[in-house]
Each structure stands twice: as C-alpha cells, then as structure tokens.
C-alpha cells in the first residue's frame, strides 16, 4: 500500500488491526520478527495513536459494513460516487454541447456551396464519389431537385454535407468546438475517432443518425457511407414497389389522428383493393405535429378537405421524399441493410448517441446495429429523444446546441419542445 493510501485509510479500524498484528508477532515465538521490523511496526502504531479520532473517521464506514470484503466493496463505491460528484461540480452545462444532424426532407439544391472552401471538405466529397460511383457534389450544388430528392442521392448527400458542416464549425468557431471536440479531422480512411471532451451527446434524425455515429467515433466515414449506399438503394427499391410517401399532420386536442389513419387503411383496402394497407405515424416531432406515412392512396384520401375536417386535423403537408420511410412499407429493405451492417465493425461511442427507435442513448455497439435495421420500419421518436437529451433540474443551465447540416427544421422542433434549450441553439449554414 502506498503512503497516500495508508494516510487515506488510517482510521480507528486501521489502528486496531495494526495493533493486533503487532501483539501477535510479540507473543508468537514461531514467527521471527527482526528488531528493525518490530521498530517499524511500533513507529506505525505510535503514528496512528498520535492522529486524533474525528467524527468523520468514526463514521467512515456504515455500521452494517463489518468484514474485509464489505470494507473493500464500500471503498470502491464511495470512490466512484466521489468521482461523479467532482465531475459534476467541474462540468458547467454552459461549457458543453449537443450536436444534431438533420434527415431527409431538409435537403435543397445548392447545399454545400458554403462549405467547399473549408479544409478537408473537398477530400470528403472525393472519397464519396469513389464509393458512390457518381459526382455527389454536383448533385448537391446543381440538382436538379427531382434528382436530389431521390433517396439514392438524398441520403448520401445529407450525410456528407452534415459532416462537412462539422468542418465549418471547427474552422469558424474554434471556441465552441473546444468544448465539444478534442481532436478531430478528416483524412482518407479515418474520419471517425473524434476525441470528445465536453460533448453532452449527439443525435441524428433518420439518416442523420449515421452522421452522429461517425461524429461519435462509432463508424468510420467510409464504412458509414458504404452502409448508407446500400440503405438508400434498398429503400429506393422498396419505394418503387409501392407508391407511397410521408406527410406532416398538424393536430389539436380535439383531433382524431389515430382514428383517421385506421379509417384510411380501411378505405384503401375496400376501395383500392390494398391487401396489407399501411398508414401510420413515421415521426413524432412534437405534441401538435406528427409525420405519417403509408400508401399514397391513403395519404391522398386524408388530404381531402371534407375528410380532414371530419377528423379535426388542422393542416397536412406532403414531404419531399420518395417513400413511406419508417413504416412497414420499408420491410423489403431490412435484409440488405442488415447484411451491410453486419460486415462493419462498430466501436464504442465516445459520446452519448441517442437512438431514433427508443429515444434513449445507445448502451453498446450490438444494440446500435440492431436499432439501425429496425429504424427504417419503426417511427422516429424525435420528441422523446429531445426530452431525454435535455432533461435537467429546473435551475440547471442548458448546453449549446448546434444543428449541422441543411435547414433549421430540428431547431424549429426544439423551440417547440424546449424553448429554454432553444435559446442556446445555433444553425451551421451549408
């Protein structure tokens, strides 16, 4: 035991144990103790006697902690709690950050034009071009819109543009990045392994979750893009099999959205001969707004003014996507996506990454793999994710929040879900 450890545990218990040891040595003729060793033991006893017994030492261990194993267990527990308390005192929430990555629907022709002169960005697009087999930057900058909106182009475009926006954040606001990223940078084959100092956590919406995982060091840039290439292609094929889409629905306290979706399913089954009708919630944005997805006939029926009013739906807005993502219509895409994910090694996250499927932070890589497959057929619990990420005591400050990627949709949702957190929101234009 080191001298530091000795002084830490020199309490009443230490003195009694040491005194008993010395007495056994003195009485037992079978144990040989040199004069110098005996002198050292006596000196330790005298030192222990000279230390006054404080009330803190008297109560260092609870009364029910009595044997050596319990002493050891208690010491470890107390040390971990003390460490947590010190960490909590040292970390000022104002000096931490949350990074949000947007998903499909936020894309626009021209995105990336404010990023290409930043370090590493062109190199990122060059690597993307090699993996994808086409000029991704050209599609981002010039479109046309119908090409960019295609899932096969849109998902890689959002992924690369969002991570390029991280490069802009690092270059333009180093004082902000200091509290979020310790060492970061892109080189061919190694964009991940970001060392995060004070990042509270990160989350991405739908395909944005892959950017969050790269940012957190779970996936390499190349591996994530390889998966997204398969994901986008499989989801595009599933969309082509069945005419479908997504639509934002704004509701009030008197709205009957669940009943409206059930009725829409029954309607297309009876009048359009759809045997396995789909019309369900795809995204939970906030209490008064959901995104629903399903067969196009069901969405078109709900858009009729007479139908909308019957169910007291406030407003409906189709989204610029090519399929009913995060619904059962994406089931054909699960198998190819699962195969692609199983080929890739996932690291432990360096910061908390929150799952679209559960709203909670990922515990381990195996769960991440399963969740990414389930994600394409299950609703995105974005409202629930925000509640988990920003949960804190009433008087506790909020971290800085950065939306890195095209649009400000996630910021708009955050403002509705948690207005106080939104006061420290920043959008990084692309």
- Is 187 a known active-site residue? yes
- Which distant-in-sequence residues (6+ apart) come within 8 Å of 227 by Cβ? 210, 219, 337, 340, 341, 344, 372
Distances (CA, A) of 202 to 78, 92, 196, 245: 30, 18, 11, 28
Catalytic residue among 7, 38, 54, 187: 187
- Which distant-in-sequence residues (6+ apart) come within 8 Å of 195 by Cβ? 181, 182, 183, 184, 217, 350
Beta bridge partners of 353: 202
Q: Is 161 helix (H, G, I), strand (E, B) or coil?
A: helix
Helices (H), 311-376: 334-342, 365-374
- Is 220 a known active-site residue? no
Instruction: Return phi, psi of residue 148, to 5°.
Output: -65, -35
What token pair was written down for 308? Answer: 């909308």
Distances (CA, A) of 333 to 329, 363, 371: 9, 25, 14
Beta bridge partners of 291: 248, 283
Residue from 344, 124, 136 nearest 223 by CA: 344
Residue 293 · residue 246 · CB < 8 Å: yes
Q: Which residues are catalytic?
A: 187, 326
């Amino acid at each position: 035991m080191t001298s530091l450890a000795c002084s830490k545990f020199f309490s009443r218990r230490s003195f009694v144990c040491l005194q008993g040891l010395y007495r056994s040595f003195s009485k037992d003729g079978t144990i040989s103790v040199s004069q110098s060793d005996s002198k050292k033991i006596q000196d330790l006893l005298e030192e222990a006697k000279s230390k006054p017994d404080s009330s803190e030492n008297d109560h260092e261990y609870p009364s029910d902690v009595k044997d050596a194993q319990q002493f050891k267990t208690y010491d470890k527990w107390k040390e971990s709690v003390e460490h947590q308390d010190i960490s909590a005192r040292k970390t000022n929430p104002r000096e931490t950050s949350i990074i949000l990555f947007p998903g499909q629907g936020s894309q626009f022709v021209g995105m990336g034009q404010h990023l290409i002169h930043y370090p590493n960005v062109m190199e990122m697009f060059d690597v993307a071009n090699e993996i994808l087999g086409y000029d991704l930057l050209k599609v981002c900058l010039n479109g046309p819109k119908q090409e960019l909106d295609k899932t096969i182009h849109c998902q890689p475009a959002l992924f690369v543009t969002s991570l390029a926006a991280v490069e802009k954040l690092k270059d333009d606001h180093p004082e902000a990045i200091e509290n979020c990223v310790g060492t970061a940078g892109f080189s061919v084959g190694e964009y991940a392994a970001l060392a995060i100092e004070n990042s509270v956590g990160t989350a991405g919406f739908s395909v944005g979750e892959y950017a969050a995982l790269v940012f957190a060091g779970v996936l390499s840039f190349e591996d994530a893009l390889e998966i997204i290439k398969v994901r986008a292609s499989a989801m595009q094929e599933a969309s082509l099999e069945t005419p479908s889409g997504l639509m934002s629905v704004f509701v009030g306290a008197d709205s009957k959205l669940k009943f409206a979706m059930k009725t829409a399913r029954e309607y297309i089954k009876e009048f359009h001969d759809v045997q396995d009708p789909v019309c369900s919630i795809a995204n939970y944005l906030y209490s008064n707004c959901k995104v629903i997805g399903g067969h196009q006939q069901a969405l078109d029926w709900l858009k009729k003014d007479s139908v909308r009013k019957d169910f007291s739906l406030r407003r409906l807005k189709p989204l610029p996507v090519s399929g009913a993502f995060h619904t059962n219509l994406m089931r054909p895409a699960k198998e190819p996506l699962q195969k692609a994910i199983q080929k890739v090694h996932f690291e432990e996250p360096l910061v908390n990454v929150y799952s679209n499927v559960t709203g909670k932070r990922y515990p381990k890589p195996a769960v991440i793999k399963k969740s990414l497959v389930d994600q394409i057929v299950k609703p995105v619990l974005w409202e629930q994710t925000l509640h988990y990420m920003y949960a804190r005591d009433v008087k506790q400050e909020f971290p800085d929040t950065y939306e890195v990627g095209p649009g400000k949709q996630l910021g708009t949702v955050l403002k509705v879900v948690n207005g106080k957190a939104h006061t420290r929101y920043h959008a990084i234009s692309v």
